[in-house]
Structure 1
């Protein structure tokens, strides 16, 4: 189980970084989303990977439980990443509508602009 979750986090992170390094705005947005998913799975896995365990302590039984704090952190991170994705999509849409291009690279400097002499 740990190998599967670690592999999923690694694959999501690698795919997210690959997409962030693209020159179009839509793959960059998808890459950010994949990175947030990777962080969410990592945070969720920090609360012990136990299937069928309750997230609440029971003082009457000796039961293995799952830590509820990572679950609350993941829930908060999902809401924040949704808001962040909405803002980034609106900024990218505004940039596309103003320039009719969604490339994220900087324009080339004119010749002689970087000379100090």
Structure 2
């Protein structure tokens, strides 16, 4: 097997409408209009070249699961999120990169990641 990439990730959310506001208004996702009419609530979103599928279902306890958004300027994104009243820690160096985390309204962790910026502060 040789995967071509990650097509989508699925995130369980308790209130799809509330989550949609967060993922589009805060994280900049774009709503797709090709989601089939499933028997459960949710939404399909584009975040860069990967889709995020919000699924109305019980949210599992946090045990380290997350997905990461690749960003050009982590510091600018942290400033933007804080200006919107979103709680986000200062970025930390991880290897040659930097990262921090933000949480959606259900507590799902989303890593904010910038490659090759460990020397910046």
TM-score by length of 1: 0.22
TM-score by length of 2: 0.22
